[in-house]
Structure formats: C-alpha cells, structure tokens
Amino acid sequence: MPTLPWTVPNTPPTRAEATVFASRFETRTLWGALKFFLRTPTIWRQVGRAPGAYGATLKAQPLKRTFWTLSVWESPKALKAFAASAPHGPIAAGLRGQMKDAKFVTWQTTTDELPIDWKDALRRLP
C-alpha cells in the first residue's frame, strides 16, 4: 500500500496551536498485518469526518508488517475523543493482541506548519 496522501477533514484556522500525533505499529504476523490493513479504510473514513481533525496520512508496508500514522488535531481532547470513539476504539482494542510493537509520540505545532513532513514524524518516533 502506498502512502495515503495528506487529507484535510477540517480546515484549520491560521496561526493556531495544534496537536500532532504519530504512531508506528508492527504486527506479530502477516495475518495480523492483513487484519490491520483490512480495517484501515474504516478508520480512514472516520478520520475524514472527525471533529477537530486538521490532517492525516498513513504509510504502510504490510509485507513488512509495519504501519505508520500521522495526524494533526485541534487539541489533545479532540485526539482523545477520536481514539476512544467507534469505530476506532473497538477496532484498536480488537487488534491489540496482533501487535508486536507500537510506538506513539505527540507534540505541539502551529497550523501554519501544516502539513507535517513524514521525515519529522519518523525522526521523533523511537
């Protein structure tokens, strides 16, 4: 799967603070990668209508069992609400047993810095 292009669900205001969230997931098996891959469109549609979402993209290397997400949110509260809501919350919980490793990082930026560069996100992920 190629990198999904940066999408902007909600137009951010200029010069506003924003919360960036980046993640890296590695599944234990190719079966786990397939499960992750097959659930991606559902989550992608949810991001596209999520309140407070200012942008998102995804990189995937399913045969290497590795996936990265990068998103920008109006606030930590908006990010937390998205993560807990359906379908994301239940899907994430259901995939937890498939994960070999998961890394998460958040930081603050301004909306004038959007879109976030993948190089910056990958550098920040441990």
Write the CATH number for 54: 3.30.70
How far apart are the C-alpha atoms of 17 and 74, rounded to whole Å?
Answer: 7
pLDDT, one tens digit per residue, over 54-104 is 999 999 999 999 999 999 999 999 999 999 999 999 999 999 999 999 999
3-class secondary-structure state, position 99: strand
57 in a domain, yes or no? yes
Radius of gyration of the CA atoms of the chain, in A: 14
Total domains, the chain: 1
Residue 1: per-residue pLDDT = 54
pLDDT, one tens digit per residue, over 4-58 is 999 999 999 999 999 999 999 999 999 999 999 999 999 999 999 999 999 999 9
111 in a domain, yes or no? yes
Q: For the residues of 8-31, what is the DSSP string, one character each?
A: -SSPPPTT-EEEEEEEEEEESSHH
**Tokens describing residue 37:** 């891959």
H-type alpha helices, the chain: 30-48, 76-84, 88-95, 118-124
> pTM for this structure?
0.94
45 lies in which domain range?
4-10+25-124
Residue 126: per-residue pLDDT = 78
